[in-house]
Amino acid sequence: MDENMLYLGLNTEGERVGLTLSQGNRHGLVAGASGTGKTVTMKCMAEAFSNAGVPVFLCDVKGDVSGIAAPGADNAGMQKRIDRFGLRETFRFRGYPTVFYDIYGQYGHPVRATISDVGPSLLARMMNLTDVQEGVLNIIFRIADDRGLEILDLKDLRAVIQYVSQHRAEYLTTYGNIAPTTLGAIVRALLPLENDGGDLFFGQPDLDIRDWMRTAPDGRGYINVLHSVELIRHPKIYAMFLLWMMAELFEELPEVGDADKPRLVFFFDEAHLLFTDMPKALLAQIEQTVKLIRSKGVGIYFVTQSPSDVPDTVLAQLSNRVQHALRAYTPAEQKAVRTAAQTFRPNPAFKTEDVIMNLGTGEALTSFLDRKGVPSIVQQTAIICPESLMAPCSEATRRSAMSASPVAGKYDEAVDNLSAYERLEEQAKRDEAQAELDRQRAELEAEKAALAKEKEKAKAEAEKKKAKEKEKKSKQAERRRNKIESQLISTGGSMLRRGLLSVLKKL
């Protein structure tokens, strides 16, 4: 048994078939009609990676992936399978080290991202914005950036939109016209996003993607299970969330080149949702990320019903293939079968197209890259069985996994950090306080002026009074003088008269 091979099944010759560990970052596809064994195959692959010390991320769309945390159920069928696959020596019914995550915080640790991390283009898609609205959203982000306003949650985004709407005129020359109707439309589009769980998803503490790259003390890679049962009902948010994760990994991780094993392997279930109504620009971005992320040691595995759910440019990069049965009742389905068959290197022993339609449950056509990166010829493979439970795990298992998880307590409580909303609130409060201060100051000034005026008036009046008094006094003095004068005159006259009389008498 090759150390470098993850054993996944037996071909019709009874030979072991598996995925080359060092080629695990060359991406893959697990396809097949409903109920043909995709989820079980994904679990077998996840267990194999975990055993090789590679952490894994899985989406749990139906709730049945959660069983990976619990030991599988023993029965006669399983015992037969254990022998058939030659696993008697190694097989143990056991659960895997699992960390449960749930955007809604109910079935796992909450997962959060900040709005600025998600960025305007993914956000615009989540919100179903038109091109014009997306353009304005870009401007809003730019203004917030220039002003040092951090947009962490929806409340911040609302606050910044309100700010922009109040200061539209100031930004006219720098950013062009920002129509109030467009701003209104963006605000309205926030409502459904909020209702769909955006208020829980956007915020802090935001996920440190490195937490998904842990290994357990026993050396097995942690299996991170994202509970997606609710999330899948909001396909846009689900799709954008996965794309955000991919972008985040791509940005955060350093290049590792060709390593002996991947650093992290992602399984995207219901992958067709990622590509439905995908705008061209975003698709180009995804193609690019898928292409380049491999050199960061990340393997991405799409799980979907038909390979035709995945755009050709992406499909071409998925080198490790597991194709479960496809039905071919309609011409469109027949075409899908032909297309699926053509993606395999033919095996001279059978006609790929015919076998695809006749595979039993748990059987698949497989092709994996060898050590040199060359795809093997297609093999009809019976897939091994997982050691963990092929059904949902119990609530008790989930709870105990959550309390024992390496991130227990780290993300469980949301925190509301200082960001745009608080800053703008503060600014508004400061502006208000300043206005109040200005008002009080003006009032004081007015009071002072009134007082001065009154004083002036009083002074003028006092002066007037004084002048009047003076005048009155001078008039009185004059009157007195006149009286004295007239008295003098009369006294002088009588004296004169008396003098004259005596003179006359003496004569």
Helices (H) and strands (E) in the chain, counts: 16, 11
Q: Do residues 157 and 189 lie in contact, with contact meaning Cβ atoms separated by under 8 Å?
A: no
Residue with tokens 């008039």, as numbered in its chain? 475
Q: Does 36 bind ligand ATP (CB under 6 A)?
A: yes
Q: Does 403 bind ligand ATP (CB under 6 A)?
A: no
Q: Does 39 bind Mg ion (CB under 5 A)?
A: yes
Count Cβ neighbours within 10 Å for each residue of 391-415 and write b for 16 or more, e otherwise: ebbeeebbeebbeebebeeebeeee
Q: Which part of the chain contacts ligand ATP (CB under 6 A), choosing from 35-43, 46-54, 290-298, 326-334?
A: 35-43
Q: Do residues 30 and 69 lie in contact, with contact meaning Cβ atoms separated by under 8 Å?
A: no
Out of 20, 23, 39, 133, the only residue in the binding site for ligand ATP (CB under 6 A) is 39
Q: Does 390 bind ligand ATP (CB under 6 A)?
A: yes
Contacting residues for 252 by C-beta, under 8 A, at least 6 apart: 209, 210
Closest CA to 30 of 54, 2, 61: 61
Out of 5, 40, 122, 126, the only residue in the binding site for ligand ATP (CB under 6 A) is 40
* 392 to 66, 108, 369: CA distances (angstroms): 5, 14, 32
Of the pair 304, 367, the CB lying nearest Mg ion is at 304
Q: Is the dihedral of CA 76, 82, 86, 90 positive or negative?
A: negative
Q: Do residues 420 and 159 lie in contact, with contact meaning Cβ atoms separated by under 8 Å?
A: yes
**DSSP symbols for 423-488:** HHHHHHHHHHHHHHHHHHHHHHHHHHHHHHHHHHHHHHHHHHHHHHHHHHHHHHHHHHHHHHHHHH
Q: Which part of the chain contacts Mg ion (CB under 5 A), choosing from 37-45, 74-82, 201-209, 447-455?
A: 37-45
Of the pair 18, 362, the CB lying nearest ligand ATP is at 362
Out of 18, 24, 28, 37, the only residue in the binding site for ligand ATP (CB under 6 A) is 37
Of the pair 64, 117, the CB lying nearest Mg ion is at 64
Helix (H) or strand (E) holding 118: helix 115-126
User: CB 286 → ligand ATP: shortest distance, Å?
Assistant: 23
Answer with the entry of Mg ion, ligand ATP, none that 389 interacts with (C-beta below 5 to 8 A by kind).
Answer: none
Q: Which part of the chain contacts ligand ATP (CB under 6 A), choosing from 37-45, 136-144, 449-457, 461-469?
A: 37-45
Q: Does 87 bind ligand ATP (CB under 6 A)?
A: no
Q: Do residues 200 and 109 lie in contact, with contact meaning Cβ atoms separated by under 8 Å?
A: no
Out of 111, 341, 383, 407, the only residue in the binding site for ligand ATP (CB under 6 A) is 383
User: CB 361 → ligand ATP: shortest distance, Å?
Assistant: 5
User: CB 270 → ligand ATP: shortest distance, Å?
Assistant: 9
Tokens representing residue 239 in the block: 């799709």
Of the pair 59, 193, the CB lying nearest ligand ATP is at 59
Of the pair 182, 306, the CB lying nearest ligand ATP is at 306
User: CB 35 → ligand ATP: shortest distance, Å?
Assistant: 4
Residue with tokens 């030979």, as numbered in its chain? 15
Residue 104 CB neighbour total at 10 angstroms: 15
Strand partners, 301: 28, 267
Q: Does 362 bind ligand ATP (CB under 6 A)?
A: yes
Q: Do residues 33 and 326 lie in contact, with contact meaning Cβ atoms separated by under 8 Å?
A: yes
Q: Which part of the chain contacts ligand ATP (CB under 6 A), choosing from 32-40, 67-75, 408-416, 451-459?
A: 32-40
Q: Does 302 bind ligand ATP (CB under 6 A)?
A: no
User: CB 240 → Mg ion: shortest distance, Å?
Assistant: 22
Answer with the entry of Mg ion, ligand ATP, none that 385 interacts with (C-beta below 5 to 8 A by kind).
Answer: ligand ATP
Phi, psi of 388 (to 5 degrees): -90, 180
Q: Does 232 bind ligand ATP (CB under 6 A)?
A: no
Q: Does 261 bind ligand ATP (CB under 6 A)?
A: no
Q: Does 32 bind ligand ATP (CB under 6 A)?
A: yes
Of the pair 38, 261, the CB lying nearest Mg ion is at 38
Which residues in this chain contact ligand ATP in the complex, by CB under 6 A? 32, 34-40, 62, 361-362, 383, 385, 390
